[in-house]
Amino acid sequence: MPLYEYTCQQCEHAFEALVFGNDEVECPECHGRRLEKQWSVPARPMAGTASLPTACNSDGPPCGPACRRFPG
């Protein structure tokens, strides 16, 4: 089940939503549909010493704070 993060462009409310197939997503606060999908960073594994893979070989924007291409 894909979990996505959004910010509503009408009321600026940030929220997460489970999206199944072609479901329409709306803001839980104002029920607006003008949403902007946000970049998400996966959580660290809970057990073990495994680290997250760092396979950022794309020309796109850095994938988040843990990205080796992140400027900050």
pLDDT digits (tens, 9 = 90+) for 20-45: 888 999 999 999 999 999 987 776 66
Please give the domain boundaries of the chain with CATH numbers for all domains: 1-40+52-72 (2.20.28)
Q: For residue 21, what pLDDT is reported?
A: 85
Partners of 14 in beta bridges: 7
Q: For residue 22, what pLDDT is reported?
A: 87
In three-state form (DSSP H/G/I as H, E/B as E, the rest C), the secondary structure along the chain is CCEEEEEECCCCCEEEEECCCCCCCCCCCCCCCCEEECCCCCCCCCCCCCCCCCCCCCCCCCCCCCCCCCCC
Q: For residue 36, what pLDDT is reported?
A: 95
> What global pTM score does this model have?
0.55
Q: For residue 37, what pLDDT is reported?
A: 92
Task: Tell me which residue of 54, 48, 52, 9 sits closest to 32, measured CA to CA.
Answer: 9
Q: For residue 30, what pLDDT is reported?
A: 97
For a pLDDT cut of 70, what percent of the chain falls above it? 57
